[in-house]
Structure 1
Amino acid sequence: MAGNDDDDVYVVFIGIGFVSALLGGVSSFLTWLAGQLSGVLSGGGWPDSSPTDCLRITYNLLRHPNDPRSAWPPAAAAALGSAPIFFALLAVMLLATALGAYILIRLLLNWRRHRTFRRLRLGFASGWEVRKLLSARTVQSKAAQVRPSTQSLPSRSVKPEQVGFYIGRDIRSRRKLYASLEDTAIVVAAPRQGKDVHFVTPFTIDAPGPCIVTSSRRETFINTAMVRAQFGEVYVFDPYNWTGWPNRMRWSPLQGCEDPNVCAVRSGTLVQSSGFDIGHEGGSTLSGIVTIIRCLLHAGAIGRLNFREVMRWIYEANGEEALEILRQGEREGRTAPGYPGALEFSMRNESLWSGVIQVMSCFSQPEVLDDCTPDPGEEFDFKKFLQGRNTLYFVSKKQSDWGGIAPIVTTIIEQYFRSARGTAMKNPTGRLDPPLTIELNQVADICPLGGLATYMGESGGYSISLHVYLTSLAEARRVWGSDGAASLWDNATVKIISGGSGTAKDLSDLSDLVGKHDGKQILSPEELRTMPFGRAAVVAGTARPVEMWLTPWWKRKDRDAIARGKAAAEAMIHKMHAGQQAGIASTHDAAVAGDDDSDASAIVW
């Protein structure tokens, strides 16, 4: 639930009242003290009055400022000094007090800048800034824009979770912080610093529309799959069957490749995400590899073949069948212009085939190839997926060597980005409704999209909430280069930095990105590195940085439902693996119990 957005107003009025009372009390006491001292200086002695009379004396003096004696009790009035002496003393005491308060405030501010205790530190966003950019009311005010279907509803009746994501609570104002659906976020958190429990799991559960999640571990799937299954269909791209989920997502690289534009994007994505670089391979070599893959995909699509046939051409390093299909299609007007000639020319350079085989090695494992060769009617329907609160998980190995399936995941996500954007542009509002959420966890390892920085900059305008997770800035530079990593950071409207990670340079860069106050870093590199589990700094829009408490999923109101879903998912996986072990054991026992003619060597361990 959203916090009360009038908290700041109450705090301001309470603060004004407290300061006014304090100033009034101090002034009254100084007025009384000046009168008492005037009596001593005039020779009349200490007037018979106590500090408890100060408020009444001040009130009487304001009524009769020309006659100070009339303000004191009658027993003390005779001993009071003259009016000039009284007012001179009062002026000196007020000035001395003001000067002392000024010096004390300066010392306090200086202490705040050198503090180890950060609660009172200068440079962080005020409650007003938080309210303006990150409050529940702010995301509610954008409801009609980010979710056109809510236009007929009063903005305050729309729950903030319907149009935004809860990200944490401001340590200083204690206000709940929300990011809008049109915000793109980048989270930098070291391993074991809770990005799954604080962000990926809650964001996946709270996604108000379809949600795509990538991960090299099954933790997010276990935490969220059963809960998300209550809202819509749950699909899993899991070639290694880590999850045991029955609703498998199957996808063919030939899908849509009748269109030459799709072929061009897909072949380029496969090559780029496979680790090929123009600086190492050379422009002509890279172009030849892309051309062969592009033409083979196009030939397989217009020839109505399954993907196994295309992989057979690649394994055999022979594109003659594909060339004949392209020529036949050219005669019938089904082939994109120039494809037969481009394939024939590139095939003359036999050395290019080694590059093609290397790129397509991500499909080499039988279980991967099986999931990428669906039967007719089994292919995943992404347009239908966008229509409900459905969920698609990509659970794959974290591999940097050849044969990892990161190029496949990257290619699929690239296709779905473009498809979602195209669907949004066809809508009258130019947005997706329900909105799409994409959680790119371990993005550098299993989904290194070359155009990710561009998508970060434009996705929000289509109501696509894109959240990218990195372990460090160095990881981003490794995949996208220095300029690409900088662009990725710049295009994110919300930047969240957790503790425990980074080299000295990365920590210094992050500290500079958080910002400075009067030339001094608001959060030093050491403070960023040692930020405890459950805290993070967030920089959003034009607001100054906010330090926030994070909420793990086990502290949410729906934690019991999440825990039950997690237990059910773990039981499902345990049952699956127990069945597999029983199957292996029974096969082994049958072989041992067989007659002497049984071929035990045929069993594969």
Structure 2
Amino acid sequence: MTRAELHSVENHDATTTDPTPARSMSERSEPGRGWHRTVSRGVGAAWWWAILPTLRSGLASPGWARLSTAAASALCRWRVQLIALGVLLTGLTVAVLAGTATPQNPAVLPTLGFLATVGEILAGAAAVVVAVPIVRAVYPHTIRGRVRIRYGFDGWASWWDLHRYVSAHAVRAAAVASRPSIAAAASAPGGRPDPGRIERLPAGRCGTWLGRTVVGPVVGTDCYAAHRDVIGLIAPPQTGKTALLGHHVIDHDGPVMATSTKVDIYDYCAGARAEQGPVMLFNPENLGGLGSTVWWSPVRGCADSQTAAERAGHMVGAAASGDDDGDRWDDWAAAVLCALLMAADLNDRDMATVARWVFNPTSDARTGGAAEALALLTSAPAGRVPAGAADALRQVLATDARKTRDSIFLTLQRSVKFMTDPTIAALVTASPDPARSGAVGSGSAEFDAQAFVAGRGALFVIGSDRAHAAVAPLLAAFTGHVFETAKRVAATRAKGRLDPPLGMFLDEVALITPVPLDRWLADAGGRGVHIEWAAQSPSQLAQRWGARGADTIWNATNVKLVYGGLSLDEDLEAVSRLCGHRHEPVTEPDGRERFERVRVCPPDRLRVLPQWHAVLIHRATPATIVRVRPVWTRRDLRPAPPRSVIEPSTTTPRRTDDTAPAAA
């Protein structure tokens, strides 16, 4: 894709590149206006960014929680309860007698009404006091009470910690600083950001909702992550991961790509996303009985050597393990696959031809094996094939080390194994020309990553986590195609980032879309790509990307959400250490009190977090625990929109070049 082509994409930032509007003639000529605006802006900043947060922090002070605890303890004493019971009976008696009395003198009616009101007030206040012991007895058995009591007040993030980094205020400020469109919407007529307008921006437009706090000095604070942050979810099965991801997909302000092993995320979110833009489904295996609405060829665009190298790297990397021992064969396999993809695209072949070359690694071009690709590259017109592009393929085919060649092609065969499934093969060998493709229906559409990144649509990618990762290489290449396109388009935009940002929500990333996250996360946020990944445990990251790769991913993730249910000691211990320590008072046998340094969230308590709860660890704040409201409880959910489905063919499709089936 050339730079000129990227500039031809509809740029939604064209009208917001310079958010400073020209001042009107009346503003320039009217004396005193500049002084008035300066004072107004200063007063607004003082109110929104100093006075109001201070008032809120006072209301959220932990002193109120301690005061309420002390008051509840005092009200539970038997003398207080006995007095309250007497007041309750007295108030009820007065209210009933005064309310039912029928005096002969009408002048007494106001007095009786006053007495009835006083009796009701006394009875109501006394009933509250009498109910305190009952509430205190029931509260520890509720989910909220168990969390509040078990995980305590101290050591968790304070109100100011949350306000500075993970509040609606924080993500609004980050959005104004990084997105020209948001800055323009929050600017006053003079062109400068207005504090009042900033604080009134919808928080969901500026960041990603993470949940509501349930521990610490204050509860009930909604937490958000900025779109420049990377979010990581560690969630064992059935702990509520989809309940949160659904919110993120629906609320994201911009194009969305969501991957999953189940169709739940599509069912919950497709209808709501259809109100913002087109909805596309890429479901190669037709999971849940849902056919794809778009098709995509991994070969398309591979005439460019850089694109071919990217696709080959993603496909081979997805089929490889996280062990360092396989790196040698993986590099060779990626280089060979790069040459095969380039040869196919330069000669108008499809993925079925590439699979045939991989499953037939012969050095004789007449047999139609991999040597045919080498012959096509060698005979290509000058300038179309970069120097050295075919060297890896030539060396592998010419080597006498049969074991080496077999190891390389075995890796390649795992990378293109998805072509042995006729349903998947039909989806990746389609053609824009209906006369050349019998694999798709008339309503099919080729996926256009460039238009997708520039719009506000939603792309749902569904794939199974079958053994040997049959479909993972295809989905990894497809996801990589979207990410690389986003990077190229972002380079042409204001500040070098997409506005609105692209949201990539990668559920079960280690199973179905094992893309090189350890390299992506470093600068994705700076390009306007908001990445959220989800895995079942930290050890699953190490299994896929290796120990060093998993450490890189973990360190580059700004916002971590860890659900309960982890069982490995090393996983629990690592998260518990991140939660930090607190000082807890301990009474000695002689009555003296000392403070002991203990974990804020010990491993045993981390393991038993209730469902819909997660520990939130932000890079700049102490940890806290948040509760998530399941996405299926939202009132704005809509049925999935009607789909133009690509129907799979019953047999592996053939192209006009009469290629053989992909299977060996």
TM-score where L is the length of structure 1: 0.72
Q: How does 1:394-405 map to 2 (within 5 A)?
A: 394-401=461-468, 404-405=470-471
C-alpha root-mean-square deviation of aligned residues, in Å?
3.0
| 1:220 aligned counterpart, secondary structure | helix
- The alpha-carbon distance between structure 1 residues 504 and 288, as it changes in their structure 2 partners (threshold 3 A), is closer
Match of 2:142 in 1: none
- Asked if 1:233 corresponds to 2:233, the answer is no
| 1:467 aligned counterpart, secondary structure | strand
Match of 1:375 in 2: 431
- Residue among 346, 360, 385 paired with 1:316: 360
Contact persistence 1:534–1:551 (CA under 8 A): yes
| 2:530 aligned counterpart, secondary structure | strand
- Asked if 1:168 corresponds to 2:211, the answer is yes
Structure 1 residue 455, shift from structure 2 partner: 1.9
Contact persistence 2:207–2:226 (CA under 8 A): yes
- Residue among 386, 407, 421 paired with 2:473: 407
- Residue among 437, 454, 459 paired with 1:387: 454
- The alpha-carbon distance between structure 1 residues 203 and 14, as it changes in their structure 2 partners (threshold 3 A), is closer
- Asked if 1:521 corresponds to 2:599, the answer is yes
Match of 2:230 in 1: 184
Q: Which moved more, 1:310-319 or 1:240-249?
A: 240-249
Contact persistence 1:8–1:127 (CA under 8 A): no
Could you report, residue by residue, the CA deviation over 1:460-499 in whole angstroms, capped at 9, with x for unpaired residues?
1122111111111111111122222222111111111111
Give the AA of the match of 2:177. Q
Match of 1:27 in 2: none
Which blocks of at least 5 consecutive residues in structure 1 are unaligned?
Answer: 23-114, 584-605
Contact persistence 2:57–2:160 (CA under 8 A): no
Q: How does 1:125-136 map to 2 (within 5 A)?
A: 125-136=157-168
Match of 1:305 in 2: 349
- Residue among 337, 346, 361 paired with 2:417: 361
Instruction: Give, in whole Å, the separation in 2 of the partners of 1:233 and 1:465.
Output: 20
Contact persistence 2:263–2:288 (CA under 8 A): yes
Larger radius of gyration: 1
- Asked if 1:542 corresponds to 2:599, the answer is no
Instruction: Give, in whole Å, the separation in 2 of the partners of 1:426 and 1:470.
Output: 33
- Asked if 1:425 corresponds to 2:491, the answer is yes
Could you report, residue by residue, the CA deviation over 1:260-314 in whole angstroms, capped at 9, with x for unpaired residues?
122222222222211257754572x444433321211110111122222222222
Contact persistence 1:516–1:522 (CA under 8 A): yes
| 1:434 aligned counterpart, secondary structure | coil
Structure 1 residue 120, shift from structure 2 partner: 4.4
Match of 2:554 in 1: 489
Instruction: Give, in whole Å, the separation in 2 of the partners of 1:15 and 1:514.
Output: 21
Give the AA of the match of 1:455. W
- The alpha-carbon distance between structure 1 residues 201 and 173, as it changes in their structure 2 partners (threshold 3 A), is same
Instruction: Give, in whole Å, the separation in 2 of the partners of 1:338 and 1:426.
Output: 30
- Residue among 442, 446, 451 paired with 2:512: 446
Give the AA of the match of 2:165. L
Give the AA of the match of 1:394. V
Give the AA of the match of 1:323. L
- The alpha-carbon distance between structure 1 residues 10 and 261, as it changes in their structure 2 partners (threshold 3 A), is closer
- The alpha-carbon distance between structure 1 residues 153 and 354, as it changes in their structure 2 partners (threshold 3 A), is closer
Q: How does 1:20-419 map to 2 (within 5 A)?
A: 117-118=149-150, 120-154=152-186, 155-171=198-214, 172-197=218-243, 199-243=244-288, 245=290, 248-275=293-320, 279-281=324-326, 283=328, 285-317=329-361, 318-329=369-380, 331-349=381-399, 351=406, 352-376=408-432, 378-401=445-468, 404-419=470-485
Instruction: Give, in whole Å, the separation in 1 of the partners of 2:346 and 2:213.
Output: 56
Could you report, residue by residue, the CA deviation over 1:43-66 in whole angstroms, capped at 9, with x for unpaired residues?
xxxxxxxxxxxxxxxxxxxxxxxx
Structure 1 residue 153, shift from structure 2 partner: 2.0
Instruction: Give, in whole Å, the separation in 2 of the partners of 1:191 and 1:276.
Output: 22
Instruction: Give, in whole Å, the separation in 1 of the partners of 2:327 and 2:185.
Output: 57
Contact persistence 1:291–1:346 (CA under 8 A): no
Contact persistence 2:211–2:629 (CA under 8 A): yes
Contact persistence 1:494–1:538 (CA under 8 A): yes
Give the AA of the match of 1:471. Q
Give the AA of the match of 2:421. Q
Matched pairs, number: 469
- The alpha-carbon distance between structure 1 residues 547 and 340, as it changes in their structure 2 partners (threshold 3 A), is closer
- Residue among 565, 575, 579 paired with 1:510: 575
Identity %, equivalent residues: 25
Contact persistence 2:262–2:463 (CA under 8 A): yes
| 2:521 aligned counterpart, secondary structure | helix
- The alpha-carbon distance between structure 1 residues 398 and 342, as it changes in their structure 2 partners (threshold 3 A), is closer
Contact persistence 1:278–1:286 (CA under 8 A): no
